[in-house]
């Protein structure tokens, strides 16, 4: 699975406005719900993401978080990417602000694809130079191109 199979450029947000964990979750969820109106209910998506965060934070450290959840009725895994240049307290294990967010939403009965997407994203984001390139990119198109180029290496 490639990230570009589940992420489209119109779901890349280069400057998240949210300043809290809840704000960022809602902002990314709203983008997904607006883009996929026929299969994603905004309120249900926010609830699924918040329920997952209550188990433990999806912030991995190093400025990265992968909020994720499952929704009934969804036909495939969908991703959104957001960047917060100033950083957000996302309850990261390292206590540092989180800047890079990959939101994943998967069908309720599709654990395999969900886990493959999580693993792929987390593997790519372990690369410090990739994270730095994401922080330097200026537009949604630049961010998407950076993600696509890194995705094609593996």
Residues classed as catalytic: 68
Q: Is the dihedral of CA 144, 10, 122, 133 positive or negative?
A: positive
* Distance set, CA 5 to CA 2, 76, 79, 104, 147 (Å): 5, 10, 9, 12, 12
Of 126, 40, 21, the closest CA to residue 82 belongs to 21
Helix axes 140-152, 128-136, angle to 10 degrees: 160
Terminal CA-to-CA distance of the chain, rounded, Å?
Answer: 10
**What angle is formed at CA 118 by the lines to CA 21 and CA 133, rounded to 5 degrees?**
70
| Residue in the structure block whose two tokens are 């969908």 | 78
């Amino acid at each position: 699975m490639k990230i570009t199979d589940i992420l489209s450029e119109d779901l890349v947000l280069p400057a998240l406005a949210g300043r809290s964990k809840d704000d960022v979750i809602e902002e990314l969820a709203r983008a997904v719900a607006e883009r996929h109106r026929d299969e994603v209910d905004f309120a249900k998506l926010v609830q699924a993401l918040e329920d997952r965060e209550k188990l433990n934070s999806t912030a991995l450290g190093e400025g990265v978080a992968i909020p994720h959840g499952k929704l009934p009725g969804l036909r495939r895994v969908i991703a959104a990417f957001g960047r917060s240049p100033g950083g957000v307290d996302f309850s990261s294990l390292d206590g540092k602000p989180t800047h890079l967010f990959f939101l994943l939403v998967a069908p309720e009965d599709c654990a395999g694809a969900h886990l493959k997407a999580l693993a792929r994203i987390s593997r790519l984001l372990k690369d410090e130079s990739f994270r730095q390139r994401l922080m330097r990119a200026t537009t949604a198109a630049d961010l998407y191109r950076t993600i696509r180029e890194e995705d094609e290496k593996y």
